[in-house]
Amino acid sequence: MKKFPLLFIGIFLTVAFSFTGIVLTSQIQYGRLKPVAIEEGDQRYPREPVGLAQQGNTVYISLGCLYCHSQQVRRKGFGADFERGWGDRQTVPRDYIYQKRVLLGTMRTGPDLMNIGQRQPDPHWHYLHLYDPRITTAGSIMPPFRFLFKKQKIQEEPSPNALKFTPGYHAPVEEGYEIVPTDRCVALVQYLLSLKLDYELPESRFTE
Amino acid sequence: MELSPYVLVMISLGVLFFTSAILALYWCTKTGQFKDFERGARSIFTAEEPEGMQTDFFPGKKEKIKK
Amino acid sequence: MISTTSGTIVIENEVESVKTKLKLAEIDASMRFPVIFFITSALVWLGIGTTFALIASISLHASHFFPNWEWLTFGRVRSAHLNAMAFGWGNNIVFAVAMWMMVRLCQTKLRFPWLMITAGIFWNIALIVGIAGILLGQLTSVEWLEMPRYVSPILGLSYTMIAIWGIVSFLYRENSHVYVSQWYILAALFWFPWIYIAVQTMVIWFPARGTVQSITNWWFGHNALGLWYTPIGVAAAYYLIPKVLGRPIYSYYLSALGFWTLALFYNWAGVHHLIGGPIPVWLISSGIVASVMMVIPVVVTAINHHLTVVGFFDHVWHSPTLRFVVFGAMSYTLASFLGSAMALREVNVVSHFTHATVAHAHHGIYAFFTMVMFGSIYYIMPRMLKREWPSALLISLHFWFVAVGITLYVLGLTIGGWIQGLEMNNSQIAFIETVKHTIPWLISRSVAGSLMAIGHICFFIHFLWMFMSKKTAGGPTLFKRAGEEVAVK
């Protein structure tokens, strides 16, 4: 243990062993997964995200949503993900091949979002929720994201995206004004709506 | 439990690794790396701070040590 | 020829005593500027990180407390906290303590100080830019690697400079013995640049496809703790416990076993962050096995650290350094056992995704690593500045506030997280109900964090005060006056 070369070889080999075993073998084993169809000629899954949803993904990353929300469904019997309606099947590596930045997450301060597009398909629910989570979910500890919205004067008609507050909610706008989501917010919500576990893969079929 | 081919690769690598580790240990003992090994434990003591002397106290509280 | 009685060793050293007598003072003096630079940087970042921590913690149960500024949103503040603490406090203090131990154990003066200081300056500048980038929304959302990628080349380069410095210094050593702490330091200095560069390449710069990213991410993330912070914490305990007590470590052979088993198993444990996740099952199983095998190096280290101390607890109590270091060493044992348990599937199905994970992380990085580093600072600074710490009271206040604080933190979030996990696995309980039940525990974390913050403030005040207090005469063993020795036996 006094000789430097000996120490060095041991130190190098131990990290090389784990790097090869964990990282490189994973890369070799499934680093080149492609989308696949259940039956020949069917639509291949997963779908590649496009357009506004892709931009929304950038907003999701820039706000750090991952630190409270995961995007993975554990198999039935290992936790209550299935029973909570978070996904009808376990998520597998192929589900993530189109995520440029894989957002698995390790915290569920808030619910899992892998299938949020199916659970909450109405964009207006999302706008209200982002503006002040306690409007849609009493008791929520999610911080409000009011900076994703802007106040503007109502033109001839209210904008289609203008927030419709529930009666009784202390409306933060005076007469003649409305709160609308910014472009960033619209993109983010489109991204959330695109998160749907509504397809099967050969290696992961819907659970009963 | 089905063994994917990668597990077999890993097991072989592991076996190789362990063999080289055992060989290295054998070489160590042969070349006397482990002779007088316990001596290393005392290498931290010097003439000014020899074994047996405590070298840290609360400020101003040095005299309070009993034993 | 060495015998094991103190008498024989003293005779042996008398021959070199004139040569070695000056050396400790000279050695310490040669390191003054770099060590103080890194310790000061570390403490500044500790303050910044603590501030972010309090904001993040309070946001989770009282988000209306803060104005709705985008740069303060939880995801960003939490990431700024982690990076400021890990790479600001953690890395700077590692550089200081590892450097000090390495130079002392090599029994030679510090060489190439300019290399260390240059690396340190670039390091800190890159961190400032990186953390500002996080708050401005350029975070990567990759755990432990949140800083935008434009700072990572500078960070990688700084690390590499420091690693090269460490290895070169070791090669210039004048001591034929290589102490256990030096193995750990060399290993850490070598491992970190490797894992950092590897993960930056495969996850940030040329992202791998799909969950290969996640695997690489957590291979890195766990190894940052296991192959970087832990080795330095363990190395410091291995040096300071025997050095302060004046007794050699319990079993030197065991320390060699502990080193190599840590090197082997810790590397493979990282996958336990992904149990139940979309990655190959065999990989998850290997991570669990490695996490459980970690019991071996932890037990070995525990035997060495704790049995060296047994029977001398009042000496420990009367040494500021050892109060912190032994607290840290005991926390290492406990946190590691809990960690091995949390890797088991039956436990993980409850604890994963909950605040219990956060509690465990802080158990390791604060109750173990940070406490050992506090102890190290208490030992090192008098020898750098050639003056005593001015106030025993501030040391005690620091200790009690952070010890009580971190204990409350770990207990509160572990219990709260465990309950959260059990309820989350019970689909009869609405999710929002499980969230509401965590709130008292989240509040306890804010209380705990406030206590820790007060402890830090006591420490900062004391640190500044020390610079301004007058020097005391004497050699490197500051508290020794002529002819005065306290025998251990």
Query: Is C373 inside a domain boundary?
Result: yes
Mean pLDDT of C184-202: 91
Residue A93 lies in a domain: yes
Instruction: List, for residues A9-59, the tens digit of each pLDDT value.
Output: 888 888 988 998 899 888 888 888 889 888 877 888 888 888 899 999 999
Query: How far away is chain A from the Cα of B33, in angstroms, using its nearest Cα?
Result: 6
Among partner residues A1, A2, A25, which is closest to B10 by beta-carbon distance? A25
Q: How far apart are CA B41 and CA C451, in angstroms?
A: 38
Q: What is the band of C4 on the pLDDT scale with cuts at 50, 70, 90?
A: very low
Selecting from B43, B49, B66 the residue whose C-beta is nearest the C-beta of C175 gives: B43
Average pLDDT of span C160-171: 87
User: With b meaning 16 or more CB within 10 Å and e meaning fewer, what string describes C81-99?
Assistant: bbbbbbbbbbbbbbbbbbb
pLDDT at site C393: 93
Q: Give A85's Cβ-side CA count (13 Å radius).
A: 9
Mean pLDDT within C331-342: 96
Q: How far apart are the first and last CA of chain B?
A: 61
| Cβ atoms within 10 Å of C316's Cβ, excluding its own | 18
Q: Range with the lowest mean pLDDT among C103-117, C182-196, C222-236, C336-350?
A: C103-117
**According to the model, what pLDDT value does residue A171 have?**
67
Find the domain containing A113 and state its range: 51-194
Say what the pLDDT of residue B36 is.
Answer: 67
Q: CB of B20 within 8 Å of any CB in chain A?
A: yes
Average pLDDT over residues A126-136: 93
Q: Which of C282, C303, C466 to mutate to test the interface with B (most CBs of B within 10 A)?
A: C282
Instruction: Decide: C255 and C304 in contact? Cβ < 8 Å.
Output: yes
Residue C473, domain member (yes or no): no
Residue C13, pLDDT above cutoff 60: no
Q: What is the pLDDT of residue C478?
A: 42
Domain count, chain A: 1
What band does C11 get if pLDDT is binned at 50, 70 and 90?
very low
Cβ atoms within 10 Å of C43's Cβ, excluding its own: 20
Tokens of C225: 């703790």
CA–CA separation, C331 and C363 (whole Å):
7
- Digit-coded pLDDT (tens) for C107-128: 888 888 888 999 999 999 999 9
Calculate the dihedral angle through the C-alpha atoms of C139, C143, C149, C151, rounding to the nearest 10 degrees.
100
pLDDT of residue B67: 38
Tokens describing residue A27: 């890369």
C chain contacts of residue B49, beta-carbon cutoff 8 Å: 24, 243, 246, 477
Amino acid code (one letter) for A80: A
> A-chain residues within 8 Å CB-CB of C268?
18, 21-22
Kindly state the average pLDDT of the residues C196-217: 92
Nearest to C419 by CA among C330, C358, C317, C350: C350
Alpha-carbon gap, residue C295 to C302, rounded angstroms: 10
- Of A65, A91, A102, Cβ closest to residue C75: A65
pLDDT of B7-39, one tens digit each?
Answer: 677 778 778 877 877 787 777 777 766 666 777
Round to whole Å and give the CA distance between C281 and A75: 12
**DSSP 8-class letter at A66:** G
Residues of chain A contacting C213 with CB distance shorter than 8 Å = 101-102
For B44-53, C154-163, C284-293, which range has the lowest pLDDT when averaged over its residues? B44-53
Q: Does residue C486 belong to any structural domain of this protein? A: no
Residue C80 CB contacts under 8 Å (≥ 6 apart), including other chains:
C52, C131, C134, C135, C146
CA distance C333 to C306: 10
> What tokens does C6 get?
């103190």
pLDDT at B6 (0 to 100): 66
Question: So what's the pLDDT on residue C63?
Answer: 81
* Residue C483 pLDDT greater than 90, yes or no: no
Structure tokens at A23: 């990282």
The answer to whether residue C96 is domain-embedded is: yes
User: Cα C208 to the chain's mean position, in Å?
Assistant: 30
Residue C471's pLDDT band (boundaries 50, 70, 90)?
low
Average pLDDT over chain C reads 89
Quote the percentage of chain C above a pLDDT of 70: 92
Tell me how far apart the alpha carbons of residues A54 and C422 are, in angstroms, rounded to a whole number. Answer: 35
**Average pLDDT for residues C325-335, to the nearest whole number?**
96
User: The CATH number of the domain where C245 resides is what?
Assistant: 1.20.210.10
Beta pairing partners, A180: A150
Count CB neighbours of A138 within 10 A.
9
Q: What is the mean pLDDT of residues C166-181?
A: 84
Q: Which domain holds residue C205?
A: 15-468
Q: Provide the token pair at C479.
A: 């508290």
Task: Quote the pLDDT of residue A107.
Answer: 96
In a domain, A12, yes or no: no
In total, how many domains does chain C have? 1
Quote the minimal CA–CA distance from C179 to chain A in Å: 9
Question: Is A41 within the bounds of a domain?
Answer: no
Residues of chain C with Cβ-Cβ distance to B63 below 8 Å are none
Determine contact: C178 vs chain B, CB below 8 A.
yes
Cβ atoms of A5 and C191 within 8 Å: the answer is: no
C62 close to B (CB below 8 A):
no
- With CB atoms and an 8 Å threshold, state whether C21 touches B47: yes
Interface mutation target, options C191, C214, C238, C289, chain A, most CBs of A under 10 Å: C214
Tens digits of per-residue pLDDT, A102-118? 999 999 999 999 999 99
To test the contact with chain A by mutation, choose from C83, C268, C353 the residue with the greatest count of A C-beta atoms within 10 A, namely C353
Would residue A46 count as lying in a domain?
Answer: no
Rg, Å, chain A Cα set: 22
Share of chain C above pLDDT 90, in %: 72
Instruction: Please check whether residue B31 is in contact with residue A27, taking contact to mean a CB–CB distance below 8 angstroms.
Output: no
CB proximity C174 to B under 8 Å:
no
Dihedral, CA atoms, C123, C48, C463, C322, nearest 10 degrees?
A: -90
Query: Residues C140-165: what's their mean pLDDT?
Result: 92
Predicted local distance difference test score (pLDDT) of residue B32: 67
How far, in Å, CA of B35 to CA of C395, rounded? 42
Handedness of CA C147, C217, C367, C238 (dihedral sign): negative
> Considering only residues 293 to 312 of chain C, which have any Cβ-Cβ distance to chain B shorter than 8 Å?
none
Inside any domain, residue C29: yes
Q: Is residue C6 part of a domain?
A: no
Is the model's pLDDT at B3 over the cut of 60? no
Q: Is A89 helix (H, G, I), strand (E, B) or coil?
A: coil
pLDDT value at C298 more than 90: yes
- Least trusted range by pLDDT, from A132-141, B38-47, C27-36, C179-188: B38-47
Q: Is the pLDDT of residue C355 over 70?
A: yes
Q: Is A25 part of a structural domain of the chain?
A: no
Cβ–Cβ contact C388 with B under 8 A:
yes
**Listed residue (C265, C379, C253, C279) closest to C324, CA to CA:** C379
What is the predicted pLDDT for the residue at B33? 65
Cβ within 8 Å of B, C 111-140: none
Q: Which of A82-86, A155-159, B9-13, C407-411 has the highest mean pLDDT?
A: C407-411
Three-state SS letters, chain C? CCCCCHHHHHHHHHHHHHHHHHHHHHHHHHCHHHHHHHHHHHHHHHHHHHHHHHHHHHHCCCHHHCCCCHHHCHHHHHHHHHHHHHHHHHHHHHHHHHHHHHHHHHCCCCCCHHHHHHHHHHHHHHHHHHHHHHHHHHCCCCCCCCCCHHHHHHHHHHHHHHHHHHHHHHHCCCCCCCCHHHHHHHHHHHHHHHHHHHHHHHHHHCCCCCCHHHHHHHHHHHHHHHHHHHHHHHHHHHHHHHHHHCCCCCCHHHHHHHHHHHHHHHCCHHHHHHCCCCCCHHHHHHHHHHHHHCHHHHHHHHHHHHHHHCCCHHHHHCCHHHHHHHHHHHHHHHHHHHHHHHHCHHHHHHHCECHHHHHHHHHHHHHHHHHHHHHHHHHHHHHHHCCCCCCHHHHHHHHHHHHHHHHHHHHHHHHHHHHHHHHHCCCCCCHHHHHHHHHHHHHHHHHHHHHHHHHHHHHHHHHHHHHHCCCCCCCCCCCCCCCCCCECC
Lowest average pLDDT, out of A60-64, A173-177, C463-467, goes to A173-177
Q: How many CB atoms lie within 10 A of CB C176?
A: 10
Phi, psi of A166 (to 5 degrees): -70, 150
Q: Centre a 10 Å sphere on the Cβ of residue C454 and count the other Cβ atoms it contains.
A: 17
Q: Which two tokens stand for residue A32?
A: 């080149």
Residue in chain C lying closest to B22 (CA): C260
Q: What is the DSSP string of B1-67?
A: ----HHHHHHHHHHHHHHHHHHHHHHHHHHTTTTTTGGGGGGTT--SSS-TTB-----TT-GGG---
Residues in chain A: 208
Residues A146-192: tens digit of each pLDDT? 999 999 988 888 888 888 887 777 767 787 888 999 999 999 999 99
How far apart CA C246 and CA B51 sit, in angstroms, is: 5
Enter the ipTM: 0.93
**pTM score, whole prediction:** 0.91
Of residues C341 and C21, the one with the higher pLDDT is: C341
- Chain C residues in contact with B55 by the CB 8 A cut-off are 243-244, 246, 477, 479-480
CB–CB of C246 and B55 under 8 A? yes
Q: Which ranges in chain A belong to alpha helices (H)?
A: 4-18, 25-30, 51-63, 116-119, 123-131, 133-136, 183-194
Whole-angstrom CA distances from A37 to A31, A90, A100, A200, C443 are 18, 17, 21, 9, 49
Mean pLDDT of C329-351: 95
Facing residue for C209 by CB, picked from A33, A95, A140: A33
* Site from C279, C348, C351, C426 to mutate, A interface, most A CB atoms within 10 angstroms: C279
Does residue C170 fall inside a structural domain?
yes
For residue B10, the distance in angstroms to the closest alpha carbon of chain A comes to 6
Confidence (pLDDT) at B61: 63
A156: three-class secondary structure by DSSP: coil
- Give yes or no for A21 touching B (CB within 8 A): yes
